[in-house]
Amino acid sequence: MEEVDFGRVAVLMGGWSAEREVSLSSGRQVLDAMQGVGIDAFAVDVERHELSEALVGKCDRVFNILHGTWGEDGRIQGLLETLDVPYTGTGVMGSALTMDKNLTKAVCLQQGIATPAWRIVRRESEFETAASEIGSECGYPIVVKPASEGSSVGVSIAHENELTEAYNLAAKYGDVIVEQFIEGSEITAAILNGAALPLIKISTPREFYDFEAKYQEDSTVYDCPCGLSAEAEKVIQDTALKVFEITGCEAWGRVDFLLDSAGNHYLLEVNTAPGMTDHSLVPMAAAATGLDFAELVIQILTTTVETH
């Protein structure tokens, strides 16, 4: 790869979403990788009222590794565009759309992408009806989760006698999605510069791939190669690229699917600033192509030269 002078790079991390600690971990590893190859990079633990002061005139571009609200929902992207600071990842519209799981599913379903059946719940009085409809259509258990969070924060797999507790947990984070439970495996497609990397199949002895399985447990198994035939893998990779295009995503990210026992895949969600920790999936997929962590970071950073 041709060497690029990136100037001074601010690594945005932390913030105040439910994924703050994961973002700090991702940010530290990205920062270490940049500094390890001689890039002039510094950390910015984002606070609400000091971001402009921290960036204007002090950096040439931003590596955004803020996870969750304010990091992936278009607001930080809008501020950076107002400040005329180039940044990694998806722009304002794509970030805002994909942070909202309800809109993402609706837009993609309209374009022929299969996704588990769902209802959006914006107030508590709607929950019982929504849960009853999904339970009647699809059977129990059902999934109850925040409409705009990541890292499996606030997610429950709920049986009929567990619905109130599940709703109360998810509602801490705003609107709630009630969703069909697909029994099977989670499979993920990392996207980098217009290409889908090798798929990763995720297996956990826990009830589902929750926060603990993602970041704390050593029992989670990541298979890459994923174990599918080359044809089946390409179908899912092509779906991931289509989802990325439909939702207006750019540069890099991750598209997550559920794979049932019959081999059908269902869109779960899109991540526009996915984790970059030692348990994270994009670095694993990149490694399967021979790309080490520092090279991955540089490729992501290179996209800021031509976009935003």
Q: Which active-site residues does the annotation give?
A: 19, 151, 215, 254, 256, 269, 271, 275
Contacts of 290 (CB under 8 A, 6+ apart): none
Structure tokens, 25 = 């971990």
CA 29 – CA 22 distance, rounded (Å)? 11
The residue among 293, 88, 285 whose CA lies nearest residue 201 is 285
Return contacts of 225-228, CB within 8 angstroms, 24+ apart.
225/198, 225/199, 225/288, 226/187, 226/198, 226/199, 226/200, 226/201, 227/201, 228/199, 228/201, 228/263
Q: Is the Cβ–Cβ distance between 249 and 191 less than 8 Å?
A: yes
CA 71 – CA 152 distance, rounded (Å)? 16
The DSSP 8-state label assigned to residue 161 in this structure reads: G
Which residue type sits at 53? E
Specify which residues 256 forms β-bridges with. 188, 269
Q: Is the Cβ–Cβ distance between 61 and 304 less than 8 Å?
A: yes
